[in-house]
Amino acid sequence: MVRYRFIALFIVSFVLNSYANEEDKTSEVIAREVRPSLVTITHDSRPGRADREGSGFFVKKGLIATNLHVIGEARRIRVTTSDGKELTVKSIHASDRKLDLALIRVTEENVPTLPLGNSDNIPDGLSVVAMGNPQGFRFSVVEGVVSATRAMEGYSMIQLAIPIEPGNSGGPLLNRQGQVIGIPSLKSQVSDNIGFAMPVNALKLLLESPNPIPIERWVTVGKLNPRQWKPLQEGADWRQRAGTISVNGKAAGFGGRSLCLYQAPPNETAFDVQVKVRLDDEAGAAGLAFASDGGDRHYGFYPSGGQLRLTHFAGPDVFSWNILADVPVPSYRQGEWNHLRVVVNGATITGYVNGDEVVSVEHEALRGGQVGLCKFRDTAASFQAFSHGEAGAVEQIDPALNEALNQWLKEPNEDSVSTLESTPKIAKALIEEKARALEIQAENLRNWSLDLHRQHVIQETKRLLENKKDHEIDLFHTGLLIALLNDPNLNVEAYRKELDSMAEEIRSSLKENANATEKLASLSDYLFQQLGFHGSRSDYYARDNSYLNVVLEDREGIPITLSVLYMELAQRLEVTGLHGIPLPGHFVLQHRSGEGKNQLIDVFDGGKLLTTEDAENLVLATTGRDLNETDLDPAGKRSILTRMLRNLIGIDLDSEDPTQAIPELDLLLAIDPEDASSHLSRALLLYQSNAGQRAIADIEWLLEKQPPGIHLDRLHELRDRILR
């Protein structure tokens, strides 16, 4: 036994000595030599969140290695060298979601590259150095050792006794000879001082078999849909996020003019075009364009310097521009959203701002052409709720609503409230106008406006579900109402048309008489390969992942929202037998063919086809228990909707203000009024938000139904406390 132990120690010593020899370098020397080859990589994040930052390093001329999650699938990427030079990204030279590795092709080629070592047979205890940008501290150095080599999710990874922080990912892990042996990728959930790196030999496979994608095709998040919009002049950056079109930068032409035209058939002599616009700088100008010839000739209706201007553009410069009207508009609100509308009838052009007619002129130099958006000078602007169609009458507010609101301000009564609530959409606009004139009551009025909107959403949800069998429910439309609950500006119909357009694009690529399996294969290829839809791994618990409209635009979501999009597209392709399967902790799909074959599909993992054994491993990894037969039972559409809502409610309950969950609980209980846990949660949140009288109804319901697991004595105490 002593002899064998001696031999083992000799082997370990020999292996370690092969990595630690006379060429070993100090951390100081390695840092100095490696730093010129390092880069900082930043990719766009979601609205309201800081951009994500990670690391990378040059492995060949013009080629940078990093993690896939560092570049953020389908997002804009910025690369900066250690001396502060920003590089131009040409393409994603190679990427692999499973390995979490990527190679970026840039224009710069005169940067030193790092030598790649061999990650096979790395000994435990090997001394290593990692470099990166932990927590934003750029080009930091940290020493540690290799703890072990472990199999994780079917791949070999290097376990490190090194803390891996946000920003470290994608940098080089080096041995003492200055060779790259791994790419740090994961931080342990168990300890802050444990991390994992992908072995460098996996990166070599990517270098040998690239799958290049031009950066123009890669950057799809925020990109305008070319089937709907076409920017004309270079220099301005038009983008779309969560239903809002934004424009930044100054176009190269005179006055910084930039047009973005809606790709619809040319309008005739009578039409109506509308949009909401907000300017970051009122010294600039942005608004509606119409009767455009696709070049320099068009009309524009837009705020400029606090005035509203109607202009006829007949050429490329100011000498061919004719200002038809430039008027002050008291109803225009600087720095806020304003509704612009143009109605053209024959020779008459009429402009409206926030419902008020502000200009009407006779001018017919241009007709036909396209409608769209325009922006001038160096301001940034945002647009929402763009629409166009036949000319129609301007919607007038019923005088009875004005009278009811005035009565409510003087002395509230049931009649005035009832009149306003009968038309919540119009009442909302009226209330907001009054709020601006009566600042002392503005906050309460806006809250009431949002309540009216949410009542409308709940009523619409009930209407869509009322007396409907499961297969008759429009899951996509109803799912959009979950997002509409907190976003009154969301255009549901626009997203319905977008999904129909996607289905038509897939259908056009199918061969005649394609079967269900072939249709699903084309659907998966279209979503995950051509458009880059993917599971949200680095930002899983973001609220946006539960909003179908944002998932559709960002092409990123969680299992259930991606599954809804997949199911709804499949339905439009006339695929039957596709069901949602609510595996514990991970929603998947199952296609049940008429031949009795059942195929599981994981849309979160790029449409991967799963075996029952794969499903068992998923459940075991997520919950620690075995897969039950009932776990594979299909979920009804109502169940899917409530599961989407529970995801949002869970996020809110973990936030600094859990009372944000109340509207979502209202909607959930409209779908499933027998959900006892939601009644209890809502009662407690209402009490917490000083709305105890509303909580009484939920408490009474619970006391009457007496569901199991509810402490009835505590409920009696809470009710008595509220009543006192």
Q: What CATH number has the domain bearing residue 696? A: 1.25.40
Helices 712-723 and 676-688: crossing angle in degrees, nearest 10, is: 30
Stretch 173-202: mean pLDDT: 80
373 and 404 assigned to the same domain: no
Q: Quick one: 408 and 498 in the same domain?
A: no
**Which one has a higher pLDDT value, 541 or 183?**
183
Q: Is residue 1 part of a domain?
A: no
Q: What is the mean pLDDT of residues 415-431?
A: 71
Shared-domain flag, residues 531 and 554: yes
Angle at 276 between CA 270 and CA 281, to 5 degrees: 125
Residues 205 and 56 in one domain: yes
Q: Are residues 557 and 689 in the same domain?
A: no
Domain boundary among 389, 421, 449: 389
Residue-level pLDDT at 661: 93
- Domain-embedded: residue 523: yes
Residue 28 has pLDDT above 80, yes or no: yes
- How many residues does the structure list for the chain? 724
Tokens encoding 597 = 């074959």
At residue 629, the 3 state secondary structure works out as helix
* Low-confidence winner among 54-63, 70-79, 283-292 (lowest mean pLDDT): 70-79
Q: In the predicted model, is pLDDT for residue 538 greater than 50?
A: yes
> How confident is the model over 620-630, as a mean pLDDT?
85
Q: How confident is the model over 30-38, as a mean pLDDT?
A: 91
Q: Are residues 615 and 657 in the same domain?
A: no
Give one word for 13, left, alpha or beta, with left for phi > 0 and alpha for psi -120 to 50: alpha
Contact 93, 212 (CB under 8 A): yes
Q: pLDDT, tens digit, for every residue of 670-723?
A: 999 999 999 999 999 998 888 888 899 999 999 999 998 888 888 898 888 888
Q: Please give the pLDDT value at position 379.
A: 84
Question: Of 635, 670, 699, which one is at a domain's C-terminal end?
Answer: 635
**Residue 149 placed within a domain:** yes
- Residues 70 and 211 reside in one and the same domain: yes
- 352 and 422 share a domain? no
Residues 37 and 104 in one domain: yes
| Percent of the chain scoring above 70 in pLDDT | 85
* Residue 330, domain extent: 229-389
**Highest mean pLDDT, choosing among 19-33, 384-398, 463-477:** 463-477
User: What is the DSSP secondary structure assignment for residue 44, as one 8-state letter?
Assistant: -
**What pLDDT sits at residue 20?**
46
Give CA–CA dist 382/125, Å, rounded.
55
Q: Is the pLDDT of residue 639 over 90?
A: yes
User: How many whole angstroms separate alpha carbon 74 and alpha carbon 705?
Assistant: 50
Residues whose CB is less than 8 angstroms from the CB of residue 437 and which lie 6 or more positions away in sequence, other chains included: none
628 lies in some domain: yes
Give the β-pairing of 556-557 and 534-535: parallel
With beta carbons less than 8 A apart as the criterion, state whether 319 and 370 touch.
no
| Within a domain: 56 | yes
pLDDT digits (tens, 9 = 90+) for 69-102: 888 766 678 898 888 888 989 988 988 877 889 9
Task: Determine the average pLDDT of the residues in 662-670.
Answer: 95
Share of the chain above pLDDT 90, in %: 43
**pLDDT, the chain, mean:** 84
Q: Domain for residue 662, yes or no?
A: yes
CB 343 within 8 A of CB 353: no
* pLDDT at 397 exceeding the cut of 80: no
Count structural domains, the chain.
5
- Considering the domain architecture, whether residues 371 and 412 belong to the same structural domain is answered as no
Residue 143 lies in a domain: yes
Return the CATH number at 32.
2.40.10.120
Tokens 């290799």 found at? 146
Q: What's the distance, Cα to Cα, between the start and end of the chain in Å?
A: 81
Q: Pick the last residue of a domain from 581, 610, 635.
A: 635
Does the global pTM surpass 0.85?
Answer: no
Do 233 and 126 share a structural domain? no
Q: Which residues contact 471 (CB under 8 A, 6 or more apart)?
A: none
| 394 domain-assigned | no
343-365 mean pLDDT: 91
Q: Which token pair is 607?
A: 């449409």
pLDDT computed for residue 540 by the predictor: 83
Dihedral pair phi/psi, residue 682, rounded to 5°: -65, -40
Based on the domain organization, do 413 and 385 belong to the same domain? no
